[in-house]
Amino acid sequence: MANNINYTSGAKPVWCPGCGDYGVFAGLNSALTQLGIDKEKVLIVSGIGCSSAMPHVFSTYGIHSLHGRLIPVATGAKLANDDLTVIGVGGDGDGYGIGVGHLIHAARRNVDMTYIVIDNQIYGLTTGQASPTSLLGAKTKSTPLGSIETPENPVGVALAAGASYVARGFAGDPVHLAGLIKEGILHKGFAIIDVLSNCVTFNNLNTGDWYKQRVYKIEEGYDPTDMSKAVEKALEAERSNWSKIPIGLFYKKERPTYSEQDITLKKGPLVNQPDPTKQQVLEALDDLR
Residues contributing to the site for ligand TPP (CB under 6 A): 48-51, 67, 91-94, 118, 120, 122-126, 131
Task: Single out the residue of 216, 209, 136 nearest to residue 169, CA to CA.
Answer: 216
Task: Single out the residue of 274, 275, 273, 271 nearest to residue 43, CA to CA.
Answer: 271
- Minimum Å gap between C-beta 21 and ligand SF4 is 5
User: Could you say whether residue 41 binds other proteins (CB under 8 A)?
Assistant: yes
Contact of 110 with 71, CB cutoff 8 Å? no
CA distances from 171 to 115, 175, 196, 212, 236 (A): 15, 9, 6, 10, 20
Q: Which of 22, 61, 210, 242 binds other proteins (CB under 8 A)?
A: 61
- Minimum Å gap between C-beta 65 and ligand TPP is 11
Q: Which of 175, 227, 235, 281 binds other proteins (CB under 8 A)?
A: 281
Degrees, nearest 5: CA angle 229-232-234: 110
User: Could you say whether residue 75 binds other proteins (CB under 8 A)?
Assistant: yes
Non-local (6+) Cβ contacts of 7 within 8 A are 29, 32, 33, 39, 42, 58, 59, 60
User: Using CB under 8 A, which of the segments 19-27, 48-56, 202-210, 225-233 binds other proteins?
Assistant: 48-56
- Minimum Å gap between C-beta 121 and ligand TPP is 8
User: Could you say whether residue 17 binds other proteins (CB under 8 A)?
Assistant: no
Phi, psi of 41 (to 5 degrees): -95, -5
Residue closer to ligand SF4 by CB (options 15, 211) is 15
Residues forming beta bridges with residue 165, ordered by sequence position: 191, 252
Q: Which does 262 bind (CB under 5 to 8 A by kind): ligand SF4, ligand TPP, other proteins, none?
A: other proteins
**In the 8-state DSSP scheme, what is residue 159?**
H
Query: Which residues of the shown chain bind ligand SF4 in the complex (CB under 6 A)?
Result: 15-16, 19, 21, 50, 120, 124, 199-202
Contact of 112 with 188, CB cutoff 8 Å? yes
- Tell me, what amino acid is at 80? A
User: Could you say whether residue 55 binds other proteins (CB under 8 A)?
Assistant: yes
Contact of 117 with 191, CB cutoff 8 Å? no
- Minimum Å gap between C-beta 17 and ligand SF4 is 8
- Tell me, what amino acid is at 73? V
* Interacting residues toward other proteins by CB under 8 A: 11-12, 14, 38-41, 43, 45, 48, 53, 55-56, 59-66, 69, 71-81, 83-84, 101-102, 104-105, 262-265, 267, 270-271, 273-276, 278, 280-282, 284-285, 288-289
